[in-house]
Amino acid sequence: MARLIDATTPAALAAALPEAVARLAAGALVAFPTETVYGLGARADAADAVAKIFTAKGRPSDHPLIVHVADVAGAGAFAAALPPVAQRLMAAFWPGPLTVIVPRRDGIGREAAGGQDTVGLRCPDHPVALALLRAAAEAGVPGVAAPSANRFGRVSPTQAVHVASEFEAEPDLMVLDGGDCAVGIESAIVDCSRGHPVLLRPGCLTVAAIEAAAGAPLRSRDATAPRASGTLEAHYAPQARVRLMTAAQLDAALTVWASAGDKVGHKASSAAPTLAVYSRSRRPAVAGVVLRRMPDDAAAVAHELFAVLRTLDASGTPLIWVETPPSLPEWEGVRDRLQRAAAA
C-alpha cells in the first residue's frame, strides 16, 4: 500500500518536505492535498516523470494535466504569454480553485499538456501544496503536474486514505496527508488562450464571480477549445451505477422499489444493500436501501460529494440514486460532476 505521511501540522509538514521534494526532483510521484482534491504529482518539466502519472492512473497520454505552480511568477516558466484576462483571473483567485489555460512556452511541459500548444496552470490554496511547490521550485522543479490521485475516470479523492486505497499496489508512492480537502470538487477551468474567456469546466466559483474578475462574459465550450482535464462525458464514476432523478421521480421510483422488493434490481452480495439514495429530502426507511441525506447548501455538498460516493460504493450496492441538484449557479460544479458520474 502507498505510504501515508502525516503533514497535518507545521512540524509534521516540515519533517516530510525534504523527502517529498527530493522525490519530485528525482522524477518520482508524490500525492498531495489541495483545497479541491488530492493530486498525483510529478515534475512537469520532465517527460519521463509525467509519463509515470499516465501509467499509474491508466490515463490516455493525450488527456492534458494541470500544472501546479507556487505563485503567479512561477506561471512564467510554462506560459509563452499571460493574456490580460488570465492575469486578472490569477490576481482575483490565486491561490485558489481556478485553472487558466494559456499559450504554452515552447520546449517545456509538452507531455503534461497532452501535446497541445496550451497549458493549464493553477496555484492551489492549501498549506501543504503551497509549501511543497515553493520548496520544489527552490530545488529546481518549476511546477508539478497533478491530476486527481485516482484511477482514470473514477471518483476523485478528498482524503489521504482515498489515495492509498486507489494505489494500494504502489508501495513506493508517498502520500502527504494534509487532512480533508476543503472544497471537495476540482477547480474551474477557463480557457484564456483565444482572446476571450471560455469556461471549460465549472467548479465552486460561480460564472458571475469569474466574469466579474475577468471583465468579460464567459463563452461556452466549442469544438475548437483545447482539451482539458475532467471534461470527458463520463468521469468521476464509482463502481455502482449512478442515476440522477428529480425529487418527484425519486419518490415514485422508491415507492415502486419498496413494493416490488427484491424483484427490482439485485443484491451485490448477501450483506450488501440493494440500493443507495443520496437526496435532500428526508425519506422513510426502505428495506435494503441505504439513505444518505444531501445537505441543502451547494458548498457543503461539494465538500462531501466524492467521499459520499466512495462510502456508498464501498457498501457494495450496485445502484446509487441521486436527487438532481437545483438549477442554480452555485450548484453548477456539483451538477457537472454528478452528470458525468451518471454518464459512465
Q: Could you give the CA distance from residue 71 to residue 94 in angstroms, rounded to a whole number?
A: 8
DSSP 111: T
Which neighbouring-strand residues pair with 321? 243, 277
> What pLDDT is stored for residue 266 in this prediction?
44
Write down the pLDDT at residue 267. Answer: 46
* Nearest CA-CA partner of 279 in 320, 340, 339: 320
Amino acid at 95: P
Residues of the chain with pLDDT below 70 are: 261-270
pTM here?
0.94
User: Residue 335 CA to chain centroid, in angstroms?
Assistant: 14
For residue 130, the model assigns a pLDDT of 98
pLDDT per residue over 258-272, tens digit each? 887 655 444 444 577
Structural domains in the chain? 3-220 (3.90.870.10), 241-343 (no CATH)
Predicted pLDDT of residue 262:
52
Give the CA distances from residue 156 to residues 69, 110, 148, in Å, rounded to whole numbers and listed in that order.
21, 24, 6
